[in-house]
Amino acid sequence: MKNILSCLRKLTLLTCLSSTLAGFSPDPELERFVMGLPKAELHLHMEGTMEPELFLKIAARNGMEVPYSEPDEVRERLRTAHDLPSFIEIYEELIGVVKYPEDIRDITLHYYRKAYSQGVRHVEMYFDPQLHLERGMGLDQVFEGLAMGKAAAESEMELTIGFIMAFLRDRPAETAMQVLEDAKPWHKQLMGVGLDNPEVVNFPEKFKEVYAKAKGYGLRLTSHCDVGQKNTIENHWGVIRTLGVERIDHGLNVLDDPELLAEVKARGIGLTGVPSLFYREIPGRLEYRAGAVKGLLDAGVEISIHSDDPGMKRGLYVGDLMLRAQSVTGMTRADLVALAKNSFRTAWISDTERAYYLAMIDDYVASFD
């Protein structure tokens, strides 16, 4: 923040933010602390973890013609994303090269290795079956790819992995219900269900029956409530009261409404905050999001930080984002530890596992030197 303020005295805001973030260099000891801090990643999309290099590799081996030959050209395309709809458009374009289970294995394994190197010890990964079904993949292929990546990662590192099957809010609820039913043979591989893609009219009521059914199948419930969307406070109430979610993805606008804030706290709903950055500079985006995370943490909400779409948003993973959020809010080490603990407190794991991970954090903090 100090950098930004001194920079602001001399230059325009846009230049300041660009230079501040481009030249981001955290305190080395803080960086070592954050990267080694055990944490759970509860909000990321399998599809959004695909980095430009891997996108080109998969396109080439699948014989798909794409209008890019270099990773930087893909990044140039990603630089046109400036809000949720424009980002989703590119996201859906890039995921078009995925055809086989091996593609999903490679995408996820690359992510697991990166996340593990930044202290992640437990992952709950979103994936969007409808995106793949629409392109001709089978549900069996999607689940096979996820299982292959998980098996490879779990044999290679001390990481536990679960999956959240997401439904697309901008597609019909009937399709979501069909996917839920068709995925029955794989329900045991799922931790829960979620909702993503742009918020539409009728969200969340549109998915009431789908969520009731999923709950009946023993699946846990979460949903995105993206930041700054139309009717966002109403939608937060909707996912809580109509859908019965246990977590809200993003959920940063909870800070804007005292009554909602009290309800989220009373119900122990976890918020998976995301201070992620598009390739294009959006002045104030990081400051706003990181500030909301800090505000919610101070208000006693069980909020944590996650990477969302790291492969398509500057290759920034959860440790990178915690450091950037810290740099603009001045969060203390105790705050960062609280965020990491919240990630396990709100993870869909057993109480025994939760106690194990919380003790792991305490041991890490006590032994860090």
Residues that bind Zn ion (CB under 5 A): 308
Dihedral sign of CA atoms 116, 354, 142, 310 in order: negative
CB of 315 closer than 8 Å to CB of 350: no
3-state SS of 248-291?
A: EEECHHHHHCHHHHHHHHHHCCEEEECCCCCCCCCCCHHHHHHH
CB of 237 closer than 8 Å to CB of 260: yes
Q: How far is the CB of 343 from Zn ion (least distance, A)?
A: 15
φ/ψ of 216, rounded to 5, equals: -60, -30
Closest residue to Zn ion: CB criterion: 308
By beta-carbon proximity to Zn ion, the closer residue of 61 and 82 is 82
DSSP 8-class letter at 315? T
Q: How far is the CB of 194 from Zn ion (least distance, A)?
A: 8
By beta-carbon proximity to Zn ion, the closer residue of 116 and 127 is 127
Q: Are strands 190-196 and 160-168 parallel, antiparallel or unpaired?
A: parallel
Q: How far is the CB of 48 from Zn ion (least distance, A)?
A: 7
By beta-carbon proximity to Zn ion, the closer residue of 308 and 320 is 308
By beta-carbon proximity to Zn ion, the closer residue of 56 and 243 is 243
By beta-carbon proximity to Zn ion, the closer residue of 26 and 226 is 226
- Distance (Å, whole) CA 309 – CA 69: 22
- Distance (Å, whole) CA 266 – CA 301: 9
User: Residues near 230 by Cβ (< 8 Å), separated by ≥ 6?
Assistant: 199
Partners of 45 in the beta sheet? 126
User: Coil, strand or helix: which one is 162?
Assistant: strand
Q: How far is the CB of 307 from Zn ion (least distance, A)?
A: 9
By beta-carbon proximity to Zn ion, the closer residue of 20 and 130 is 130
User: Residues near 260 by Cβ (< 8 Å), separated by ≥ 6?
Assistant: 233, 236, 237, 254
Q: Are strands 247-250 and 270-273 parallel, antiparallel or unpaired?
A: parallel
Q: How far is the CB of 306 from Zn ion (least distance, A)?
A: 8
Q: How far is the CB of 99 from Zn ion (least distance, A)?
A: 23
Q: How far is the CB of 45 from Zn ion (least distance, A)?
A: 6
Closest CA to 138 of 186, 93, 94, 174: 186
By beta-carbon proximity to Zn ion, the closer residue of 103 and 308 is 308
- Distance (Å, whole) CA 203 – CA 272: 19
Q: How far is the CB of 196 from Zn ion (least distance, A)?
A: 6
By beta-carbon proximity to Zn ion, the closer residue of 110 and 250 is 250
CB of 244 closer than 8 Å to CB of 205: no
